Amino acid sequence: MNAHPDLAIADIANKFDAMHWQVLDKAHLTAEDLTTVVRPLSAHQEIATTLLGHSYEGTPIIRYSLGSGPLTILAWTQMHGDEPTATAAVLDWLHILLNSEPVGLPKNWQDLVTVHVIPMLNPDGAARKTRVNAQGIDINRDAKALQSPEGRILDQQVKQLAPDVAFNLHDQNPYYTAGTSTNPATIAFLAPAYHEDKHVNASRLRAKQLIAGMAGTLNYFIPNSIGRYDDTYSFRSFGDNIAASGASTILIESGAAFDDPHRQLARKMNVIALQYGLLSLLTDTYRAYSLADYYRIPDNREDGLCDTKLSHITLGLNPSYHVDISINISAKTGKSNITAIGDLRTVHGFSDIDGRGLTLADIKPYVVTSPLQLDDLAYRKLLAQGVSYFVDANGLLTHTCQLPIRVETAPLPQVFMLPGERAFFLLKNDNGVQAAVLEGKWITLNP
Ligand SMILES: [Zn+2]
């Protein structure tokens, strides 16, 4: 890709490529994963490290601060434990700011601004890979009740620091698209409302201008892959409450991209967005953007994508009918879920299969009555014969299959092709079974 026309943005993009923490290129991050990165950060003389308190289970929650200027920026990440992308990004950002001289920043920028970063506000949830904390509380619905220690820490920080600009950094599910496009929304932005009526005061206007500038900048790297998050007022959420405190509050949701399971593209976009924010606040360039520029960002559209989409599958007999089928696969459990059946022309699949000419095969279990050892080859043969799952009441089946295999202790009911069911089925034509969908994954049987 050619360099971004703005030298400062080209510079931060290049520096990310050269300097991001490779060790954080993972699908998930826990407090333990950060240790090798935060140790040199704490040791850096320009960084002030503050122990803010502890999570419910006693893990330290630390703030890293850089600069001593009057303009105050506060960013926090992973308040939802299973949303790690921005945690890597803020640590990359601090690393780049500390160990290079980014283009475009005034020489004395650290006298003009103080940047506070709280990476991983919810380490207990991160350890469990859950959205909620160890109490089962969604910290982002605890802004009023403040029953979680993590929520109290964030609330206390906002009161103490009174940030001018607050970055609330999250991950969103991979199925959002940028408007009606077929692209995943790799980044979504929101300047949250601070009132039911969604008024725009000076601080919210600044948030929207900053977002418009960020979106314009990122659009160069991820064209048509940026969404604008719904701004319905959320009374119990931190972003909305912090917006009410007078901070220009910016929600960034990291999202999916094609062939990017660790969301490294969103990670890089976070770093560029943060640096854009810093640059434009120090140079006032965000003021060139209008509310109209903000609203020009397409909607962050929910459920525009699914993991696997099969189109034009024939179902039923006399009369038969045609449907599309969408399937999602849980990143956490690996289990599939049929999400919809019918006319899904507005939904796109990360994996998109045209099933024209294929008919759903009758469901047929293989009842295991004597010891059976299966490898993929033997399993494929059974699939081709129309076996879609195994009934093994006595634990007689052992296997070395790489392909997903469904083993039940009793036969399934005949009606299994419904939303909410796991996706294990076979597709046939006049020449027999042609393909299998196994735990949502498309497998061709007769190439
Ligand atoms: Zn979240």
Q: How far apart are CA 40 and CA 48, in angstroms?
A: 12
Q: How far apart are CA 308 and CA 325, in angstroms?
A: 8
**pLDDT value for 413:** 82
Fold assignment, 305-444? Urease, subunit C; domain 1 (2.30.40)
**pLDDT value for 447:** 55
**373: CA distance to ligand 1 center in Å?**
44
Q: Are 116 and 159 in contact (CB under 8 A)?
A: no
Report whether the peptide linkage leading into residue 319 is cis, meaning its omega lies within 30 degrees of zero: yes
**236: CA distance to ligand 1 center in Å?**
14
281, amino acid identity: L
**pLDDT value for 274:** 98
**pLDDT value for 78:** 98
Fold assignment, 7-301? Aminopeptidase (3.40.630)
CB neighbour burial string for 272-284, b if at least 16 within 10 angstroms, e if fewer: bbbbbbbbbbbee
**84: CA distance to ligand 1 center in Å?**
9
Q: How far apart are CA 319 and CA 179, in angstroms?
A: 36
Q: Are 331 and 261 in contact (CB under 8 A)?
A: no
3, amino acid identity: A
Q: How far apart are CA 172 and CA 184, in angstroms?
A: 11
**pLDDT value for 220:** 97
The two tokens of residue 3 are: 């360099």
**172: CA distance to ligand 1 center in Å?**
7
Q: Are 255 and 188 in contact (CB under 8 A)?
A: yes
**267: CA distance to ligand 1 center in Å?**
15
> Which long-range contacts does 213-216 make (Cβ < 8 Å, 24+ apart)?
213/276, 213/280, 213/285, 213/286, 213/288, 213/289, 214/189, 214/250, 214/273, 214/276, 214/277, 215/187, 215/189, 215/293, 215/297, 216/289, 216/293
**239: CA distance to ligand 1 center in Å?**
11
Q: How far apart are CA 113 and CA 108, in angstroms?
A: 9
Helix (H) or strand (E) holding 403: none
Coil, strand or helix at 438? strand
The two tokens of residue 301 are: 């559209």
Which residues of the chain are under the pLDDT cut of 70? Answer: 1, 415, 446-447
pTM, whole model, 2 decimals?
A: 0.93
**83: CA distance to ligand 1 center in Å?**
6
**21: CA distance to ligand 1 center in Å?**
23
Q: What is the 3-state secondary structure (H, E, C) of 244-285?
A: HCCCEEEEEEECCCCCCCCCHHHHHHHHHHHHHHHHHHHHCH
The two tokens of residue 436 are: 């299998």
Q: Are 26 and 129 in contact (CB under 8 A)?
A: no
How far from 370 is each of 332, 373, 386, 401, CA to CA, in Å? 34, 10, 20, 19
**66: CA distance to ligand 1 center in Å?**
25
**pLDDT value for 318:** 80
**Helices 85-99 and 7-19: angle between axes, nearest 10 degrees:** 110
**245: CA distance to ligand 1 center in Å?**
20
**446: CA distance to ligand 1 center in Å?**
43
**234: CA distance to ligand 1 center in Å?**
13
**pLDDT value for 415:** 66
**185: CA distance to ligand 1 center in Å?**
15
**261: CA distance to ligand 1 center in Å?**
18
In degrees and rounded to multiples of 5, residue 288 shows phi and psi of -70, -15
**168: CA distance to ligand 1 center in Å?**
9
**80: CA distance to ligand 1 center in Å?**
5
The CA-based diameter of the chain, rounded to the nearest angstrom, is: 77
Query: What are 397-436's pLDDT values in tens digits?
Result: 999 999 999 999 999 887 678 999 999 999 999 999 999 9
Helix (H) or strand (E) holding 299: none
| Domain chopping of the chain, boundaries | 7-301, 305-444
**pLDDT value for 292:** 97
